[in-house]
Amino acid sequence: MNTKGTVVFDIIGTCFSLDKPRQRLVELGAPPHALQLWFAQTLRDAFALSHAGGYRPLKEVLEAELPRTLKVLGIEADAEQRRTLSRPASLTHVVNAFSELEPQPEALEAFRLLTTAGWKLVALTNGSEDSTHKLLDRANAIEYFANIFSCDAIQKTKPHPDVYALAKQDVEGDIWMVAAHAWDIAGAACAGLRTAFITKEEKDYLGVYPQPEVIASDLVEAANQIVEGMTPSLR
């Protein structure tokens, strides 16, 4: 089967749910929105360091950010909670949830639809190549992916254009970015990729960003729109 093009998938929060780290934070006494705050601040500070010319792997930034996020939320105000949270193992348990993420319920079906239609799939992540490979392997999804590209390889984080350039190597045909993060879609669009935004996590796209060509409620809807839009014979 001739390759129609390449579909680039973000991994964390797009193909894999953040419910597990969210639940572990709740178990420590944090509110459900603590996950969004922690992850958003982690991304912000990883972006800032990368933009300034430095770099640290995402897991290290997650580890550094978590105690501060809990302080912002006032979690350490209670003496008993403070004793619990002071144990490194407790915080490590939360961070390690990122290596145990569960795939979105529709992820495998989306991957199958695209590969059956002749699209090559690659992963492009701010996480590590090793952790991404393990997530995809645990989810029985590794067979669908031709490559895994990590920002660790060039020590710059998405949405730097050099990261998207990794996925554009040796590409024939169209190249799409699928992500549940508006900033990732904006970065991909600015780097010349076609884009599909998944609304499951952030709900709405940001009006000041370059607009995505596809807006979908989940991965299967996005996959169907890419397939049907580019291969009319499959309709």
Q: Is the pLDDT of residue 104 over 80?
A: yes
> Are 46 and 112 within one domain?
no
> Are 211 and 122 within one domain?
yes
The pLDDT value recorded for residue 170 is 77
Question: How open is the CA angle 19-212-205, to the nearest 5 degrees?
Answer: 50
Confidence band of 2 (pLDDT split at 50, 70, 90): low
> Are 11 and 121 within one domain?
yes
The pLDDT value recorded for residue 89 is 55
The pLDDT value recorded for residue 78 is 45
- The 3-state secondary structure of 167-184, one letter per residue: HCCCCCCEEEEEECCHHH
> Are 13 and 63 within one domain?
no
The pLDDT value recorded for residue 82 is 45
At 212-230, the pLDDT tens digits run 999 999 999 999 999 997 4
> Are 220 and 113 within one domain?
yes
Q: Is the pLDDT of residue 125 over 80?
A: yes
Question: For the chain, how far is it from start to end, CA to CA, in angstroms?
Answer: 18
Region 188-210: mean pLDDT is 96
> Are 165 and 56 within one domain?
no
Q: Which amino acid is at 21?
A: P
> Are 127 and 86 within one domain?
no
More confident residue, 79 or 23: 23
Enter the pTM of the model. 0.90
| Nearest Cα to Cα of residue 198 among 107, 95, 134 | 107
**Residue 182 near residue 197 (C-beta atoms within 8 A):** yes
Counting the structural domains of the chain, the total is 2
Task: State how far the Cα of 121 lies from the Cα of 31, in Å rounded to an integer.
Answer: 36
- Pull the structure tokens for residue 132: 């991404």
Q: Is 114 exposed, middle or buried (0-12, 13-18, 19+ CB in 10 A)?
A: buried
Q: In this structure, what are the phi and psi dihedrals at residue 28, rounded to the nearest 5 degrees?
A: -85, 0
Q: Which amino acid is at 207?
A: G
Domain enclosing residue 13, as ranges? 5-17+102-234
> Are 23 and 11 within one domain?
no
Task: State how far the Cα of 29 lies from the Cα of 70, in Å rounded to an integer.
Answer: 10
Confidence band of 48 (pLDDT split at 50, 70, 90): very high
Q: Is the pLDDT of residue 232 over 70?
A: no
Region 9-32: mean pLDDT is 95
Confidence band of 187 (pLDDT split at 50, 70, 90): very high
Q: Strand, coil or helix: what is 147?
A: strand
Region 160-181: mean pLDDT is 93
